[in-house]
């Protein structure tokens, strides 16, 4: 569900990658530094921050384990933001030169990368759509529907609700309340002590509009 490994399909690269360790507060790169590496966060947490000329800052992204970040830098000469470790972190680094070399050498590698990027775009757009739903109950329900498979649609919980709440842009309390409400009104059934959730079949009568 989260960002897949962009270069997982390129063995040349995974072979050449190195692990870097950062303590909380350490910088991985600065705005304006020449791009030499591309990264994937293994453990910890890291944030990408852009500083304005007057010193104010904006957070562009908070990377979590598994996330690749600064992909756009691969096509840029310099980084356009700072990367700071939030917590002690381990980061896999792939040289940009190797990356570009692999691409020109092996066209199929390119397909894999474009595919991974397109997949991320799809995921991010779906998430944005989700966050556009105002009602907490409807938002949680929509999320469940996106995760569901089978008939009746069922979701197996793989992460904590606390984590999911953050993805949904809700507090965990609001999420629990939404779940309680969905349960109460019979729109979901929580099974096996919360390990799975079955969605009630929607009586699709006047709901034919997109």
Chain residues that interact with a copy of itself, rule: CB under 8 A: 47, 49-50, 52-62, 71-72, 74-75, 84, 86, 103-104, 107, 110-111, 113-115, 117-122, 124-129, 131-132, 142, 145-146, 148-153, 169, 199, 201-202, 204, 210
Nearer to DNA, 49 or 166 (CB): 166
Phi and psi at 134, nearest 5°, equal -70, -50
Residue among 193 and 208 whose Cβ is closer to a copy of itself: 208
Compute the least distance from the CB of residue 68 to a copy of itself, in Å: 9
Contact status, residue 196 vs residue 148, Cβ threshold 8 Å: no
Contact partner, 8, from a copy of itself, DNA, none, Cβ < 5-8 Å per class:
none
> Please, are residues 61 and 46 in contact by the beta-carbon 8 Å criterion?
no
Measuring CA to CA, how many Å separate 18 from each of 43, 116, 132, 165, 196?
14, 21, 39, 33, 38
Rounded to the nearest whole angstrom, what is the least distance from the CB of residue 1 to DNA in the complex? 16
For the CB of residue 15, give the shortest distance to DNA in the complex, in Å: 29
Nearer to a copy of itself by Cβ, of 71 and 181: the residue is 71
110 lies in the binding site for DNA (CB under 7 A) = no
Q: For residue 165, give the 3-state DSSP assignment.
A: helix
Cβ contact 63:47 at 8 Å: yes
Binding mask 161-200 for DNA (x = CB under 7 A): xxx-----xxxxxx-xxxxx-------------x------
The option from a copy of itself, DNA, none interacting with 160 (CB < 5 to 8 A, set by class) reads: DNA
3-class secondary structure, 189: strand
Backbone angles phi, psi at 42, to 5 degrees: -90, -55
What stretches of the chain show up as alpha helix (H) in DSSP?
Answer: 11-16, 96-105, 107-131, 136-147, 161-168, 172-184
Q: How many CB atoms lie within 10 A of CB 135?
A: 10
Q: By CB under 7 A, is residue 2 in contact with DNA?
A: no
Residue ranges binding DNA (CB under 7 A): 134-137, 139, 160-163, 169-174, 176-180, 194
């Amino acid at each position: 569900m989260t960002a897949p490994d962009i270069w997982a399909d390129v063995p040349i690269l995974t072979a050449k990658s190195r692990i870097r360790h950062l303590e909380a507060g350490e910088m991985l790169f600065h705005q304006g530094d020449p791009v030499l590496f591309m990264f994937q966060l293994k453990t910890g947490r890291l944030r990408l921050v852009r500083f304005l000329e007057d010193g104010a800052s904006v957070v562009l992204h908070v990377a979590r384990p598994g996330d690749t970040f600064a992909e756009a830098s691969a096509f840029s000469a310099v980084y356009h933001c700072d990367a700071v470790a939030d917590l002690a972190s381990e980061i896999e680094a792939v040289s940009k030169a190797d990356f570009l070399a692999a691409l020109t050498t092996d066209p199929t590698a390119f397909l894999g990368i474009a595919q991974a990027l397109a997949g991320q775009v799809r995921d991010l757009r779906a998430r944005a759509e989700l966050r556009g739903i105002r009602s907490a109950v409807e938002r949680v329900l929509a999320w469940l529907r996106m995760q569901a498979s089978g008939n009746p649609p069922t979701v197996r919980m793989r992460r904590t609700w606390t984590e999911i709440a953050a993805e949904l842009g809700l507090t965990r309390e609001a999420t629990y309340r939404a779940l309680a409400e969905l349960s109460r009104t019979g729109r979901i059934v929580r099974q096996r002590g919360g390990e799975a959730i079955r969605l009630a079949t929607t009586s699709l009568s006047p709901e034919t509009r997109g």
